[in-house]
Chain A
């Protein structure tokens, strides 16, 4: 492939981070000798029945109204969320809510239930059916400001974290969230430890979030069975716990109430969550707590240890 064949105004490398090999980097020590910083990120989402079309992506697989897929997502708020909440409470696990902020308007009861448990709220855009592709800088700033304002208004929390709505981006996304005061993003999947993200302004950290552990990927893409998902979670944890003795690791379980809250998927998940939270050297944390600890203690050292990336031919 030659340069001439490439589309204009596109890059070959996102340019977000230097190379930092897993076997040669500053060792992380989490608080109280924990080996794994463990966090759970329920995606609390609102999908619109008939949103305007972004030219880059249709909101639904079927033509409007996609009753099947819309109602499947709606199951999460009516039904699945409440089951998931009970499991989290039984395991003494706080959530870090990846929030479509319009949920604050549509279903404030869900927001209150999370806030009552001391959960963190971070932004997953406005709706899961409004995508960032094609937005200019002013439009994208408007979306981020909406998240900052809405989360503060409804929960009193300062917005720290970002997971782009439906994982859609512009080339500006990372710079803009950092510039507007956010401290971590969940959109990059290159590491099992937090790492610095290069931005024009501000201090931004990439927080391990894991698509491999994400119930959407597990159930909707990889089509695994619920008991197998429980096994996957335990295997992931066991290895990160082992490695965390040398240098602290991060494990995240990203969830979607419409998937994990189905009765047939609940018991296997609860068993795995109970297994993980039952370990001694685990820091049961939120995304914000991990990001702040990392930014204070390791962001600078990781930045300094980064090896610059060579120019590919």
Chain B
């Protein structure tokens, strides 16, 4: 690729107009709010940190279109890309069971983000999650149904309704949480999620605590679900070692735990991809980080709905 050295096109004068330059945000989706100025949150049983583990059960179709972009984990080679298809599917057959075992050792429940396609294809996996008392959270239809600005509101509503109907039927759970595939949204997504009866969404990475989002119907709560410290980012994207991943989880927890002494309850979310962390050579990093966290007093291992229900009455 050669650099573009031609002189750039002139800009119209209205490029220097800023109609949304005002106090607060440049949109109406949520209010501007500073973490240290909020009312402190108290967790059940005087817990200091709510530990929230969120594995994702994903299905990447072999012939995925990647519209409007290829999500992380997408097929990469010319069709048929058997190697990436099967490696992603490894997570649902093998990796997730290693995660289950690691969490069971400490009695930690998970909130599992599930593509509806996984529930239809592997119903026994959903049964397993139910048996462990895990919460099922919706993660869209599959990794090739990205919600985005080019999608009509009608089509997007259809996708959301279909996802929820499949997951609610498969799990028997209310399914109150939503994670968009690749955290991709349209401008309408929060409105559509709230209308479909969802209580919380995990796409926004701007906070360490829950906060209310404004929608056309009821309030929807944004739950903290960071992407830059998940297993995919650290291990696959950044090429860090397993010990580095463990250390980053530990450093993350230590700062939050320290803050919780003076700032009120905190949340430690751990987002996982079973096809990444569930590999034999990697799983110990998670086990060691969990052992570090669970060796502290005042840890409340909870599901997203439990955290939401504890937080909601305290939110003013």
Name A264's contact: one of B180, B182, B229, B237 (CB within 8 Å). B229
Q: Report the separation of the CA atoms of residues A267 and B53 in the bound assembly, to the nearest whole angstrom.
A: 23
In contact, B15 and A264 (Cβ under 8 angstroms): no
Q: Does A75 contact B (CB under 8 A)?
A: yes
In contact, A225 and B187 (Cβ under 8 angstroms): no
Q: Does A67 contact B (CB under 8 A)?
A: yes
Among A15-23, A26-34, A130-138, A156-164, the one that faces the other chain is A130-138
In contact, B35 and A82 (Cβ under 8 angstroms): yes
Given contacts A55-B8, A78-B33, A223-B237, contact A106 B22 (CB under 8 A): yes
Q: Nearest chain A CB to B58's CB is how many angstroms away?
A: 16
In contact, A7 and B7 (Cβ under 8 angstroms): yes
Name B14's contact: one of A8, A52, A108, A262 (CB within 8 Å). A52
Q: Does B133 contact A (CB under 8 A)?
A: no
Chain B residues, CB < 8 A from A7: 5-7
Chain B residues, CB < 8 A from A201: none
Task: With CB as the reference atom, state the residue of chain A lying closest to B247.
Answer: A227
Chain A residues, CB < 8 A from B81: none
In contact, B8 and A65 (Cβ under 8 angstroms): no
Count B-side interface residues using an 8 Å CB cutoff. 64
Q: Does B256 contact A (CB under 8 A)?
A: yes
Within 8 A of A (CB), among B69-119: 69
Given contacts A63-B150, A226-B251, A267-B251, contact A68 B203 (CB under 8 A): yes
In contact, B185 and A63 (Cβ under 8 angstroms): no
Chain B residues, CB < 8 A from A102: 18, 21
State the majority secondary structure of interface residues on B.
loop
Within 8 A of A (CB), among B167-211: 180, 182-187, 189, 203-208
In contact, A78 and B18 (Cβ under 8 angstroms): no
Within 8 A of B (CB), among A65-111: 65, 67-68, 71-72, 74-75, 77-79, 82-83, 102, 105-109
Chain B residues, CB < 8 A from A143: 16
Count A-side interface residues using an 8 Å CB cutoff. 56
- 1/0 contact string of A109-142 vs chain B (CB within 8 Å): 1000000000000000011001001111001001
Task: With CB as the reference atom, state the residue of chain B lying closest to A268.
Answer: B251
In contact, A134 and B9 (Cβ under 8 angstroms): yes
Q: Nearest chain A CB to B47's CB is how many angstroms away?
A: 17
In contact, B7 and A10 (Cβ under 8 angstroms): yes
In contact, A63 and B11 (Cβ under 8 angstroms): no
In contact, B205 and A71 (Cβ under 8 angstroms): yes
Task: With CB as the reference atom, state the residue of chain A lying closest to B15.
Answer: A52
Query: 5 closest A-B pairs (Cβ-Cβ)?
Result: A264-B252, A263-B255, A74-B206, A134-B8, A223-B238
Q: Pick 9 A–B contacts, CB within 8 A, sort by A.
A: A48-B20, A49-B27, A63-B68, A72-B206, A77-B34, A78-B207, A223-B240, A225-B248, A266-B251
Instruction: Tell me the A residues contacting B by CB distance below 8 Å.
Output: 6-10, 46, 48-50, 52, 54-56, 62-65, 67-68, 71-72, 74-75, 77-79, 82-83, 102, 105-109, 126-127, 130, 133-136, 139, 142-143, 223-227, 262-268
Known: A263-B255, A266-B255. 13 other contacts (CB 8 A): A50-B27, A63-B150, A68-B203, A75-B207, A77-B32, A78-B33, A79-B34, A79-B207, A106-B24, A108-B23, A223-B239, A262-B252, A264-B248
